[in-house]
């Protein structure tokens, strides 16, 4: 792991692989730099064409954290990575990481192209109520309950949550639980940003989804509000997209003139 220092002094840890134009991978909720669809496994499949940066968002893995949290601080983290990568980069975000990457592009960072996989602009979140419940649970170090609440909110069936708690993955999710608040703040009520904000994102943008209908509908609405965007469906894929299916789509998009 290498490190860069963000504007507020937070240390951001990252791994760098490959050669070619810089590409920064932004993970979603409960993701660190090892996450399947936004970390090392995907980075390795992109390394033949790009210099890929997979990083631990603040408060995760080997990165430090600085309170109080604000979306602007996470954008500064991405800015530090872009500066370290040579001053400009492509960006890809997974799930709520896609929403964060979109906000980073809107803020004017030197992002040349943007790709997102299923940014969850599907509504139905409790907004401030959900965020407040997460804050209460994490402040009390009730990390099991925080992860469970998140899983319930995204619609995971109860029996699958029970099964997941019996796997080796659960302790890793618990360790990342305090950062669930960050993604809740990023997503708010899960609504697509206002058209006036999206109009500022003029760079080429790709929104990729699997075949889940509500994600496809959300992507269609998002793309229609962006000046220079298109939607691509990966048949047979769910929100847990396989890097082997996603990497070719990203490679083609980022390599286009």
Domain CATH number, residue 237: 3.40.50.1820
- Residue 124's pLDDT is 65
| 182, 206 Cβ separation under 8 angstroms | no
Question: What are the residue ranges of helices labelled H in the chain?
Answer: 40-46, 71-84, 96-106, 128-139, 143-153, 158-164, 169-176, 180-187, 195-198, 213-225, 243-255
Last residue within a domain, chosen from 149, 167, 184: 184
Q: Does 114 lie in the same domain as 46?
A: yes
Query: 84 with 205, same domain?
Result: yes
With cut-offs at 50, 70 and 90, classify the pLDDT of residue 125: low
Cβ atoms of 74 and 7 within 8 Å: the answer is no
* Domain identity same for 94 and 36: yes
For residues 64, 66, 68, 74, the Cα torsion angle rounded to the nearest 10 degrees is: -60
Of 153, 168, 184, which marks where a domain is finished?
Answer: 184
Q: Name 42's Cβ contacts closer than 8 Å, sequence gap at least 6.
A: 25, 36, 52, 54, 243, 246, 247
**Residue 114 phi, psi dihedral angles, 5° rounding:** -130, 130
Tokens of 230: 């298109």
Domain span holding position 52:
2-123+192-255
> pLDDT-based confidence at 142, cuts 50/70/90?
very high
Q: Same domain for 100 and 169?
A: no
Shared-domain flag, residues 114 and 213: yes
**9 and 64 share one domain:** yes
- pLDDT on residue 175: 97
Residue partners of 21: CB distance under 8 A and separation at least 6 = 49, 50, 51, 89, 90, 112, 254
**pLDDT higher than threshold 80 for residue 126:** no
The count of structural domains within the chain is 2
Residues 180 and 196 in one domain: no
- Please identify, among 145, 165, 184, the residue that sits at the C-terminal boundary of a domain: 184
- In this prediction, residue 123 has a pLDDT band, given cuts at 50, 70 and 90, of confident
Is there a single domain that holds both residue 35 and residue 77?
yes
Considering the domain architecture, whether residues 115 and 139 belong to the same structural domain is answered as no
Residues 115 and 211 in one domain: yes
Tell me the average pLDDT across 18-25.
98
Whether residues 104 and 221 share a domain: the answer is yes
Q: Who contacts 145 (Cβ-Cβ below 8 Å, separation ≥6)?
A: 137
Closest CA to 62 of 7, 15, 8: 15
Same domain, 136 and 249: no
**C-alpha dihedral over 81, 87, 89, 93, to 10 degrees?**
30
């Amino acid at each position: 792991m290498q490190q860069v220092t963000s504007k507020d002094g937070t240390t951001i840890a990252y791994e760098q692989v490959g050669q070619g134009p810089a590409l920064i991978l932004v993970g979603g909720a409960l993701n660190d730099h090892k996450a399947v669809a936004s970390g090392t496994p995907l980075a390795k499949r992109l390394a033949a064409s790009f210099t890929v940066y997979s990083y631990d968002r603040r408060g995760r893995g080997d990165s430090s954290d600085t309170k109080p949290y604000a979306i602007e601080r996470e954008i500064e983290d991405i800015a530090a990575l872009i500066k370290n990568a040579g001053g400009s980069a492509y960006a890809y975000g997974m799930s709520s990481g896609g929403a964060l990457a979109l906000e980073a592009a809107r803020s004017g960072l030197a992002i040349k192209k943007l790709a997102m996989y299923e940014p969850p602009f599907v509504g139905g979140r409790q907004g401030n109520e959900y965020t407040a419940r997460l804050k209460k649970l994490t402040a009390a170090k009730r990390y099991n309950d925080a992860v469970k609440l998140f899983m319930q909110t995204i619609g995971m069936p109860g029996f699958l949550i029970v099964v997941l708690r019996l796997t080796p993955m659960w302790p890793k999710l618990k360790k990342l639980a305090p950062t669930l608040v960050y993604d809740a703040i990023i997503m708010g009520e899960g609504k697509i940003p206002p058209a006036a904000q999206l109009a500022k994102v003029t760079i080429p943008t790709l929104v990729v989804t699997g075949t889940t209908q509500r994600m496809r509908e959300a992507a269609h609405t998002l793309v229609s509000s962006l000046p220079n965007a298109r939607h691509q469906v990966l048949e047979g894929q769910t929100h847990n997209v396989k890097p082997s299916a996603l990497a070719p789509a990203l490679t083609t998009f980022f390599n286009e003139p």
